[in-house]
Chains A and B, each alone.
Chain A
């Protein structure tokens, strides 16, 4: 049957398939991921029982994998809501099959990232002291507030545009019916309901952008507001935000490519979507390099002994390998591959995106650890090596992310069906009239009053 002769419901049947037909592969993968998560839980119970002595953290390096992963995962969360909100706000029509996946990444990763400070505490019960004696003027508490606000806003921003799709699942009789019935809020697609949905989405997308930017800026303040060499920097706010968006786009591309292959979404996620996102990735790579260069050049030029000691620890000391690998993965590789159209293919974009995710994790390592390893006071310095507990908890966090994404895909469409339909029905005409509006008026077109042009 040709594409144009299919009914809209048939046409988008592949988007319902992952929800209504679950293969053995799903359960096998879920079981494997669950095993990794459970091993992580076992390791955490061990740490809870024996204390932080089971980790590789010691004096002077008191922040290790947990804080690195906290910054890394919260950074990845910028993939979603921020990218989705910016693309929606700009009416970028190619966004339609992408936004849902981006928003899901945010919700899952914020949950996982938010748990990490708790893992870092030898006495997690002391977290409750925040509720009793928290100091709102401390950057640590700003972090708690910002992440909670971002999580609340991005979960609502994920949920609200999902309501029409949930209603479609309800109308198809997909199980569990009670879930779709409950979450669809009596959606019938009436003009009034559409108006409410659009207005709510507009409010949320405007709200979410500053909240997302504030989250990573505040995380950078945890470091930048400390008088520690390598941390006390004025550009850390934008540097962290740029890094977060950069790693977020990388993670989004990896997810898109993997789930496109697994669920056969080739008709929806086309080369043009990857090409556009990879151009964004390239731009972020260049901005990231510019900020890294500025950060290191100013520190090097000042020749302040403590600053220089930390810098040399990174450039030619024990952290030279992760540092130069970071530069290779975050700048050299993306620019070499993505700047040429010929090499901008899906497999090469996958390689670059995985490289960027790994490179950005290394960047978090390079920021967190060397500054602690070279303290101001005379103290024996030694490189930090993570223990099995930290490595297994990292693996568990990554497995939990994939598992969370798979479970979401089992219950909800990964691509927004109603937005695809809207794209087919309305957006083509709307986009062409918008483009016509950008072009100069014909000479004989009457000029409306108050447009700033001189009255005759």
Chain B
């Protein structure tokens, strides 16, 4: 159950990144200011990756921290 939050986080981040990718494809297909679309994508993508990455770091870090305490003699 605890992995659920981890999976949801990455599902959300991946969903947004796929959406951004799709919008870039639409811009190419309609020859509709692709350069601007690319520029805005480059700004937005790191934000989602950082949020998902931080939550993953917390998730793994807290589990390891708890396990270390349990295995300590």
User: Which residues of A are at the interface with B, using a C-beta cutoff of 8 A?
Assistant: 131, 133-137, 141-142, 145, 148-149, 152-153, 156, 160, 163, 182, 185-188, 190-193, 195-197, 199-200, 203-204, 207, 211
Quick check: B51 and A131 within 8 Å, CB to CB?
no
Quick check: A204 and B54 within 8 Å, CB to CB?
yes
CA distance A232 to B54 in the complex (A): 38
Quick check: B16 and A148 within 8 Å, CB to CB?
yes
Known contacts: A185-B62, A196-B61. The answer to whether A149 contacts B44 by CB under 8 A is: yes
Quick check: A185 and B59 within 8 Å, CB to CB?
yes
Q: Which of A142, A191, A211 contacts B40 (CB 8 A)?
A: A142
User: 20 interchain pairs (CB within 8 A)?
Assistant: A135-B33, A137-B33, A137-B37, A149-B44, A149-B47, A152-B48, A156-B54, A185-B58, A187-B66, A190-B66, A193-B65, A193-B66, A195-B61, A196-B62, A196-B65, A197-B61, A197-B62, A204-B54, A207-B47, A211-B47
Known pairs A137-B37, A193-B61, A196-B61 / 13 extra A-B pairs, C-beta < 8 Å: A136-B36, A136-B40, A137-B40, A145-B44, A160-B54, A182-B2, A185-B2, A188-B66, A196-B57, A197-B58, A200-B58, A203-B50, A204-B54
Query: Which residues 1-19 in B have Cβ within 8 Å of A in the complex?
Result: 1-2, 12, 16, 19
Q: Which of B16, B26, B41, B63 contacts A133 (CB 8 A)?
A: B26
CA distance A15 to B16 in the complex (A): 38
Known contacts: A152-B48, A153-B47, A196-B65. The answer to whether A135 contacts B27 by CB under 8 A is: yes
A-B residue pairs, 10 tightest by C-beta: A196-B61, A193-B65, A192-B65, A186-B66, A137-B36, A136-B37, A136-B23, A185-B62, A149-B47, A190-B69
Known contacts: A145-B44, A156-B51. The answer to whether A187 contacts B62 by CB under 8 A is: yes
Could you say which residues of chain B place their CB within 8 Å of the CB of A199? 57, 61
Nearest chain B CB to A181's CB is how many angstroms away?
A: 9
CA distance A145 to B45 in the complex (A): 10
Known contacts: A203-B50, A207-B50. The answer to whether A188 contacts B24 by CB under 8 A is: no
Known contacts: A136-B37, A136-B40, A160-B58. The answer to whether A153 contacts B51 by CB under 8 A is: yes
A-B contact count (CB 8 A): 105
Quick check: A152 and B24 within 8 Å, CB to CB?
no
Q: Residue on A with the closest CB to B6?
A: A185
Q: Residue on A with the closest CB to B52?
A: A152
User: Which residues of B are at the interface with A, using a C-beta cutoff of 8 A?
Assistant: 1-2, 12, 16, 19-20, 22-24, 26-27, 32-33, 36-37, 40-41, 44, 47-48, 50-51, 54-55, 57-59, 61-66, 68-69
Q: Residue on A with the closest CB to B43?
A: A214
Quick check: A190 and B12 within 8 Å, CB to CB?
no
Q: Which of B2, B22, B24, B55 contacts A156 (CB 8 A)?
A: B55
Which of B23, B24, B55 is packed against the most chain A CB atoms within 10 Å? B23
CA distance A204 to B20 in the complex (A): 22
CA distance A134 to B57 in the complex (A): 32
Nearest chain A CB to B8's CB is how many angstroms away?
A: 11
Could you say which residues of chain A place their CB within 8 Å of the CB of B36? 136-137
Could you say which residues of chain A place their CB within 8 Å of the CB of B51? 149, 152-153, 156, 204, 207
Quick check: A200 and B57 within 8 Å, CB to CB?
yes
Quick check: B19 and A131 within 8 Å, CB to CB?
yes
CA distance A195 to B62 in the complex (A): 9
Quick check: A192 and B48 within 8 Å, CB to CB?
no
Nearest chain A CB to B34's CB is how many angstroms away?
A: 9
CA distance A152 to B58 in the complex (A): 15
Could you say which residues of chain B place their CB within 8 Å of the CB of A207? 47, 50-51, 54
CA distance A203 to B19 in the complex (A): 25
Quick check: B27 and A196 within 8 Å, CB to CB?
no
Nearest chain A CB to B66's CB is how many angstroms away?
A: 4
Could you say which residues of chain A place their CB within 8 Å of the CB of B64? 192
Could you say which residues of chain A place their CB within 8 Å of the CB of B44? 145, 149
Quick check: B50 and A192 within 8 Å, CB to CB?
no
CA distance A182 to B55 in the complex (A): 15
Quick check: B27 and A190 within 8 Å, CB to CB?
no
Could you say which residues of chain A place their CB within 8 Å of the CB of B61? 192-193, 195-197, 199-200
Could you say which residues of chain B place their CB within 8 Å of the CB of A131? 19, 22
Could you say which residues of chain A place their CB within 8 Å of the CB of B40? 136-137, 142, 145
Quick check: B24 and A136 within 8 Å, CB to CB?
yes
Could you say which residues of chain B place their CB within 8 Å of the CB of A186? 2, 62-63, 66
